[in-house]
Amino acid sequence: MSRSRLVMRVRGLAFTAGVWTVVAGFSALSLYLRAASGELTLKPGWLWATVGMIPVWTAVTSPVLALSRRFPIERQTWPGAIAIHVIALFAVMALDGAVNMVLSPGPRAQPLTFWQQLWRYSFINAFFYAGIVMVEHAGRYYGLYLDRRLRASELEAQVSRAQLQALQMQIRPHFLFNTLNTISGLVRVDDKAAATTMLAGLGDLLRLLLRSDGAQEVPVRQELELIERYLQIEQVRFRDQLAIEVSIEPGVEDALVPNLILQPLVENAVRHGVGATTGRVAVVVQRQGQTLRMEVSDSGEAAPADG
C-alpha cells in the first residue's frame, strides 16, 4: 500500500471515529438529561455501553458501506439485499453485545446474558445500521444524478456542435456561390478593377475560413476579421449603397465564440438592409455583465428577401 493511500485510510478512519464520538456524546447527554428530569432511570453500565459504541461502529462503518454498495436495496433485488443486510446487522449487534460485556465494569446483582445484552441495544443498533445504508444509497444516487446531468450536458454539446457544423457546411458553399456570381457579373460588364478586388477579398476570406476549419470556437478577433473581409466584398458589390459600422468593446477580442456565428446574421442584414439608395449594417460586440453580447442590425430599408 502506498503512503498516500495509507494516509487517506487513516484520515478516513479518524473522521469516522470523530463522527461516532459526536454521536455517542449526544446520546450520553440525552440519556443523562432524561434521567435528571425523571423521565427514565439509567441502568448500570449505560455509560460504558455508550462509550463502547464508538470503537464498534468505527470498525463496522466501512464494511457496512461496502456491503451496501455490493448489495443495494433496489426494486429488482430488494428481498435478497434486505436478507443480507439483516444477517450483517445481527453480526454487528453480536459484536456490540460482546464489547459491552467486556467493558461493563464490576459484578452485577443480576448480570445480563449475551442475548439480553444483544437485545437491549437492538433498536439503536438497527437505527445506526439503517442510517449508514441510507447515507450510502443517498450518496450513490446523488452521484448517479450528477453523472446523468453531465452526460446530458455532453450530449447537448455534441448536438450543438453537430448543428454548428451543419450550418457551416451550408454557409460556405452558399456564400462562395453568391460571391462568384457577383464576380461573374462584374466581368461581364467589364468592371475589371471591382472584379479583381472581389477576387482578392475572396481569397483572403477563404484563407480565414480554412484557418478556422473544424474549430468549434474562435476568438472574437478572428470572427470579426472574417466579417470584415465579407463586408469588404459586399461593399464592392453594392458600392456606395452599403454603409458599415463595426464597434467592439476593448478587452473582449480574445473571448471565444462559436465559429461563424456572425456570418449568417451579417449576410441576412445585408440582404434586408440595403435598399434602393443606401443601407446600413452595424455590428456591435460588448461585454454585458458576465456574458458577451453580439448584435447585428440593419437599416431595414429593403423589402424582406424570400427564404
What's the whole-number average pLDDT of the chain? 78
Report the pLDDT averaged over residues 242-263: 86
| Burial of residue 50 (number of CB atoms within 10 Å: 0-12, 13-18, 19+) | buried
**From its phi and psi, is residue 213 left (phi > 0), alpha (psi between -120 and 50) or beta?**
beta
pTM of the model: 0.46
pLDDT one-digit tens code per residue, 187-197: 887 787 888 88
Q: What is the pLDDT of residues 75-119, one digit of tens each?
A: 888 888 899 989 998 888 888 877 777 766 544 444 556 666 667
Q: Return the domain boundaries, the chain.
A: 3-150
* Separation between Cα atoms, residue 307 and residue 301, nearest integer Å: 18
Q: What is the pLDDT of residues 18-65, one digit of tens each?
A: 888 888 888 778 777 777 777 666 665 667 667 777 888 888 888 999
Q: Which long-range contacts does 155-163 make (Cβ < 8 Å, 24+ apart)?
A: 161/216
- Cα dihedral value 29, 32, 37, 41, nearest 10: 150
Inter-CA distances, 277 with 119, 173, 183, Å? 97, 29, 22
pLDDT confidence of residue 213:
63
- pLDDT value, residue 302: 45
Phi, psi dihedral angles at 295 (to 5 degrees): -125, 135
Give per-residue pLDDT as tens, 4-21.
Answer: 777 787 887 888 888 888
